[in-house]
Copies of this chain bind each other. A is one copy, B any other.
């Protein structure tokens, strides 16, 4: 009898539920639900104003995705509930919240509903930069050795800066909070009634290390949150393990049985690796969207400059999961298309019934490497890896009076490819070799020119995910591992990946392009180091001046 598992992928604006046929490896049904409260970045539901750079979410929005989505995929597919053997979720991260001792989110308790700090801080809540700076300065001062595991800097998006912001701006919430946790772990708690933390978010976002645990109390004391470790209940389980089974109440709500196994909660980028068939070292998966997240595995723990993190069991149990990233990819092209393309191009695209980016891509595709004479640094939104510097900005040179929009567009694509090459080279030079690339996410499907340029610039083959819903598929696969082979699933994620993980396009480097991009990358590297490593900090001085005059 064919068995099925469910994957639930919680994004920034909506959640998606999919149903996976373990026999065929196909996703046979899916349901998407937008969050009722969307992203709250201006006001709370009661109208309370939020500060700049805030971004909050509402906990029951996630449950609604499950309550509507799971029954929907069952009814769409006609699959019987007894044939569903497992499920798993993946989430944006660090997306975190304070709860009471019973894991009730504080924002759901009437006495806190008017308090912004009681809500869920979404990954892109950027109002804790002050606290991140304080944390980093303190860590450097105390000589904390964890910094090198995170490329030298803890991001303001992560767990402890967000907790520090709560403690500093709403001490009452801080003291009333019995637990701070990732939303992904909270949803998993609601699924199986037991509170655990997954090794992925604990490691990448909460400075946890499999052998060393969290930083010492003395460090937290220096941050003004001496008691924070008491507010981190729940043991940590490795990614890939079973956390439990559905509670009777949840099984009923979802239309499933209590036999459904639930895997450790996961993160959208990290969960995707097995979905493209990767479960071993030497391969890097690029999850490409507005920004790009790079995930790869290593056999040992290496300190790679500028990585976003290295976590044992963080992606696949038994491996060190490495993360890197580029903060400006799809956003880059959107910025260009919105602000820099003349009316004649929109008119011609319209006549050809093409999207403006499709039209630009087509025109850019007719250019040869090197033909535009342009070169750019891909820092419009700072540099995540390998410089870890949000204060860097964009640079382009080579423009003449004959420079055309499609040339600039192509130069921006190339710039992100050079940034990728810089990441790959840095990992390879630091003991984490990368031989092949994998890609998923909208751009990898929609923009073959970009994928070919990436293959040419990095001189590596690139495999494209066969499935448009890569994270949700990955989650459903982990659900099958939680269920186990005996129940009709798999005993290991490796086995699941072998059967189900697929790619369907392969871009191979074109030797003559590789040779030209080799020369262009050498130029990029010189400028990257000149502007990014302190030879000329003009970008930072301009930012300082900008802040001064505003």
Determine the chain B residues whose CB is within 8 A of the CB of A400 once the complex forms.
Answer: 380-381, 393-394
Interface members, chain A 510-547 (any B CB < 8 Å):
516, 519-520, 523, 526-527, 530-531, 536, 538-539, 541-543, 545-546
Interface members, chain A 399-434 (any B CB < 8 Å):
399-401, 403-405
Would B519 and A527 count as touching, CB distance under 8 A?
A: no
* Stretch touching chain B among A209-217, A366-374, A435-443: A366-374
A275 interface hit (Cβ, 8 Å) = no
Contacts known (A393-B398, A397-B531); A370 close to B549, Cβ less than 8 A: yes
Would A340 and B526 count as touching, CB distance under 8 A?
A: no
A395 interface hit (Cβ, 8 Å) = yes
Contacts known (A381-B400, A393-B399, A542-B375); A343 close to B340, Cβ less than 8 A: no
Would B342 and A546 count as touching, CB distance under 8 A?
A: no
CB distance from A394 to the nearest CB of B (A): 3
Would B538 and A373 count as touching, CB distance under 8 A?
A: no
Would B401 and A380 count as touching, CB distance under 8 A?
A: yes
Determine the chain B residues whose CB is within 8 A of the CB of A328 once the complex forms.
Answer: 401
Would A538 and B550 count as touching, CB distance under 8 A?
A: no
Tell me, in angstroms, the Cα distance from A527 to B373 when the chains sit together: 19
* Stretch touching chain B among A22-30, A117-125, A178-186, A331-339: A331-339
Q: Name the residue on B nearest A402 (C-beta).
A: B335
CB distance from A194 to the nearest CB of B (A): 42
A341 interface hit (Cβ, 8 Å) = yes
A67 interface hit (Cβ, 8 Å) = no
Would A380 and B394 count as touching, CB distance under 8 A?
A: no
CB distance from A414 to the nearest CB of B (A): 12
Tell me, in angstroms, the Cα distance from A335 to B400 when the chains sit together: 9
Could you tell me which A residues sit within 8 Å of B by CB distance?
328, 331-332, 335, 338-343, 346, 368-375, 377, 380-381, 393-401, 403-405, 516, 519-520, 523, 526-527, 530-531, 536, 538-539, 541-543, 545-546, 548-550
What are some 7 contacts across the A-B interface (CB < 8 A)?
Answer: A343-B343, A372-B546, A373-B543, A373-B545, A397-B539, A526-B538, A527-B538
Given contacts A339-B405, A374-B542, 5 further A-B contacts (CB under 8 A): A369-B549, A370-B548, A373-B546, A380-B401, A393-B398
